[in-house]
């Protein structure tokens, strides 16, 4: 943690990436398309980042295009999140084209300008953007999303790049077959354990051994050391529980929104509780085992 903070404060990471930007950053044609689509439909967009202005400008020119500032109504750099969301004392300062910090008092956040530091309370006062009409995207649960959800009532979206590879795995035929048989085997064990004769007990022990092996195989589909980022066997990971607490929606990339219209509403899905699920014996009788088709965008609240 100290090392990561050190390379940020000293600017080592920024200089390394700027020196060879194509090695570290991908040109995001679809991200550009999403931003342009939102701007064309009159959506107000803002960028709040902890990175310095020179790094943001060079990176955004590479990712989005030279006119990237035309897409955003407000751009704030070196915001020092999460302090930005809680500290009322730091004022906004304008950064000129040469990167020099100006000390004039800011009465309005103007499009095309870059501002440094500031705080959310002043941001809300100057823009009037508040409440559930604001959707803020971030890639860190605590630095980006937690305070906005708990204190300010904004809608929040989490960007989780690992989601793309996990969904790809979950849509493979091998994974679907393994999960279907694992669930079936679990149901058989639960349903047939009442048989106490030696032959039945021997079969049950074989099934338990097979189930244990399949659970291990299922974890190894994702990562041999710790399995899926989102699930530990039948239970959600701590990461997913925190994600569900602080994000209204999560996705692998902002480009996942490209196929949705700007006025599209993501309605929350009902998550069955344990006592609402049908019994294994009922599913065994009716043959209703199903794994739904998975998509890149996931609704969680």
DSSP 24-89: H----HHHHHHHHHHHHTT---EEE-SS-HHHHHHHHHHHT-TTGGGT-SEEEES--TTGGGT---
Last residue within a domain, chosen from 201, 228, 255: 228
- pLDDT the model gives residue 292: 47
Query: Who's near 205: CB < 8 A, 6+ residues apart?
Result: none
d(CA 107, CA 235) in angstroms, rounded, equals 50
Label the pairing between strands 235-236 and 231-232.
antiparallel
39 and 124 share one domain: yes
Last residue within a domain, chosen from 76, 108, 129: 129
Taking the mean position of all CA atoms in its chain, how far away is CA 27? 20
Does residue 107 form part of some domain? yes
Label the pairing between strands 135-138 and 155-159.
parallel
Does residue 118 form part of some domain? yes
- pLDDT the model gives residue 139: 93
32 and 102 share one domain: yes
Element (H, E) at 220: helix 198-220
* Three-point CA angle 101, 106, 108, nearest 5°: 125
Chain segment 198-236, per-residue pLDDT in tens: 999 999 999 999 999 999 888 889 988 888 999 888 889
Does residue 3 form part of some domain? no
- pLDDT the model gives residue 11: 87
Q: What does each C-alpha distance from 29 to 18, 48, 164 come to in angstroms? A: 20, 21, 17
- pLDDT the model gives residue 108: 94
- pLDDT the model gives residue 293: 46
Residues 91, 106: contact at Cβ < 8 Å? yes
46 and 94 share one domain: yes
CATH of the domain at 124: 3.40.50.1000
Range of the domain at 112: 25-129
Does residue 50 form part of some domain? yes
d(CA 62, CA 41) in angstroms, rounded, equals 24
101 and 49 share one domain: yes
Q: Compute mean pLDDT per 10 residues along the chain, 301 residues long, and list them.
A: 86 91 86 93 95 93 92 95 92 88 91 94 94 93 92 94 93 93 91 92 95 90 89 89 94 92 88 74 50 50 56
Three-state SS for 231?
strand
57 and 99 share one domain: yes
Residue 275, CB-side half-sphere exposure with 13 Å CA sphere? 0
Q: What are phi and psi of 234, to 5 degrees?
A: -85, -10
37 and 114 share one domain: yes
Q: What does each C-alpha distance from 13 to 48, 74, 77, 219 come to in angstroms? A: 19, 25, 16, 33
Q: What does each C-alpha distance from 204 to 24, 98, 191, 215 come to in angstroms? A: 52, 74, 11, 16
Residue 184: closest CA among 291, 96, 271, 93? 291
**Number of folded domains that form the chain:** 2
Using left for φ > 0, alpha for ψ between -120 and 50, and beta otherwise, residue 235 falls in beta
d(CA 11, CA 169) in angstroms, rounded, equals 37
């Amino acid at each position: 943690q100290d090392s990561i903070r050190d390379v940020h404060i000293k600017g080592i990471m920024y200089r390394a990436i700027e020196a060879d930007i194509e090695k570290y950053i991908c040109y995001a044609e679809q991200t550009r398309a999403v931003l342009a689509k939102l701007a064309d439909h009159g959506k107000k967009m803002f960028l709040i980042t902890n990175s310095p202005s020179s790094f943001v400008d060079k990176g955004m020119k590479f990712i989005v295009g030279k006119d990237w500032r035309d897409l955003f109504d407000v751009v704030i750099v070196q915001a020092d999140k999460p302090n930005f969301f809680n500290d009322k004392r730091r004022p906004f300062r304008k950064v000129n084209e040469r990167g020099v910090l100006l000390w004039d008092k800011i009465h309005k956040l103007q499009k095309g300008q870059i501002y440094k530091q500031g705080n959310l309370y002043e941001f809300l006062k100057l823009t009037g953007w508040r409440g559930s009409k604001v959707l803020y995207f971030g890639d860190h649960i605590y630095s980006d999303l937690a305070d906005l959800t708990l204190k300010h009532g904004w809608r929040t979206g989490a960007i989780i790049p690992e989601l793309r590879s996990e969904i790809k795995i979950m849509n493979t035929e091998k994974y679907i077959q393994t999960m279907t048989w694992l669930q079936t085997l679990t149901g058989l064990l639960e349903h047939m354990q009442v048989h106490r004769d030696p032959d039945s007990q021997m079969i049950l022990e074989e099934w338990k051994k097979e189930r244990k092996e399949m659970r291990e195989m299922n974890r190894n589909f994702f990562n041999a050391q710790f399995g899926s980022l989102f699930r530990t066997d039948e239970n959600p990971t701590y990461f997913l529980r925190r994600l569900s607490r602080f994000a209204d929606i999560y996705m692998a990339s902002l480009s996942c929104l490209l196929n949705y219209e700007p006025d599209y509403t993501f309605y929350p899905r009902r998550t069955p509780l344990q006592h609402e699920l049908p019994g294994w014996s009922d599913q065994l009788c009716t043959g209703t085992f199903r794994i739904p088709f998975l998509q890149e965008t996931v609704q969680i609240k």
